[in-house]
A = this chain, B = another copy of it.
Amino acid sequence: MEKETTIYDIARRLKLSPATVSRALNDHPAINSNTKSTIAATAKEMGYRSNTFASNLRRQRTNTIGVIVPRLDSHFMSTVLAGMEKVANAASYNLIISQSLESVRKEIANAKTMFNSRVDGLLVSVAYDTEMSEHFDAFVNKGIPLLFFDRVLAHKRSTCIVIDNAKAGYEATAHLIQQGCRRVMHVTGNLKRNVYADRLKGYKLALLDFGLAYEDELVMVTDLSHEAGLKAASHIQTMKNPPDGLFVTNDFCAVSCMSALKKAGLSIPADIAVVGFNDDPVSSVVEPTLTTVHYPGEKMGEVAAQSLINHLNGAMDIQTTNTIILHSELIVRDSSKKAV
């Protein structure tokens, strides 16, 4: 690797000071525009590239945002990341992305790396089994803004970006009831996660509002995997008093459950109406098409990144905002259209 050109090289060549070169390169208003263009030209000619590390070291700022997510390979998460990347890139921030693979242990390691990488801010959606949040204390203590999105930590004072999961859960359940369902089953995930706990709340509330009894038997806590969907389906078939409505808090799980039920001879929605969650592309492709809750992933990514950047630029105080709730929406498709 040959020697890098520095602003000193340019300065020497042009008989200017390094400071002037630095200013010109950063488009400082006080620099003569002729000087600027000469410098720009020479820089280009000499193959100069700015050294971010020197600059970061000097400015005590990294222009880097850390992102920790449970998994990279879900449709929802990739839309979120796409949104973040768009905003970050436009504001000339870099994104360092890592996945916890749903394990706290890895989440802790990732947080540490982010901390040492001196990210200017951190965007987090926590793992399936994260309970405490000490691994984020270092950020809070140093005044590094921390923003949770989607799967947020309840006892943290930091800003959260979420949808109204309780409302979404309510709407999904109410919709099923309005379609004529009298026994609505709910398949959900780890109730320590706000997203699942809140949806369950909404589910319960809807039952209550419509005068249906809540039964423990009708709530299944699973890991929302493909297998969980199959298990739910076979469980349903063993029930003496099976449900006529099913609200699964994840489209993929709903789909695998649905196909297992269909294979078992049940007709959807006639025998059992189904609602999923997330509006994953599969939901509009399965048969019957799956009623689901549209989750504004890209928007969430954009808002999260933008809020953090605004905070970093002093344009907004994130700490006072505390919670941003995005709009979600029930998308009614064929899997739940019982009534006409």
A150 on the B face (CB < 8 A): no
- Give every chain B residue within 8 A of A2 (Cβ-Cβ): 142-143
Residue of A82, A89, A285 with highest tally of chain B CB at under 10 A: A285
Evaluate contact between B74 and A78: CB separation under 8 angstroms: yes
Evaluate contact between A72 and B62: CB separation under 8 angstroms: no
CB contact between A73 and one of B51, B78, B95, B255 (< 8 Å): that residue: B78
- Give every chain B residue within 8 A of A116 (Cβ-Cβ): 49-50, 52
CB contact between A286 and one of B50, B143, B287 (< 8 Å): that residue: B287
Query: Which A280-303 residues have a C-beta within 8 angstroms of B?
Result: 281-282, 285-287, 298
- Give every chain B residue within 8 A of A96 (Cβ-Cβ): 94-96
Q: Which residue of B lies closest to A280 (CB)?
A: B281
CB contact between A117 and one of B52, B57, B73 (< 8 Å): that residue: B52
CB contact between A287 and one of B82, B89, B92, B287 (< 8 Å): that residue: B287
Query: Which A41-65 residues have a C-beta within 8 angstroms of B?
Result: 47, 49-54, 56-57, 62
Query: Which A80-98 residues have a C-beta within 8 angstroms of B?
Result: 81-82, 85-86, 89, 92, 94-98
Interface residue range, chain A: 35 or more
Evaluate contact between A89 and B98: CB separation under 8 angstroms: yes
- Give every chain B residue within 8 A of A75 (Cβ-Cβ): 73, 75, 78
- Give every chain B residue within 8 A of A160 (Cβ-Cβ): none
Query: Which A136-171 residues have a C-beta within 8 angstroms of B?
Result: 138, 141-144
- Give every chain B residue within 8 A of A56 (Cβ-Cβ): 53
A196 on the B face (CB < 8 A): no
**What is the minimal beta-carbon distance from A286 to any residue of chain B, in angstroms?**
5
Evaluate contact between A53 and B49: CB separation under 8 angstroms: no
A277 on the B face (CB < 8 A): no
Evaluate contact between B62 and A85: CB separation under 8 angstroms: no
Q: Which residue of B lies closest to A143 (CB)?
A: B1
How many angstroms between the C-alpha atoms of A144 and B2 in the bound complex? 11
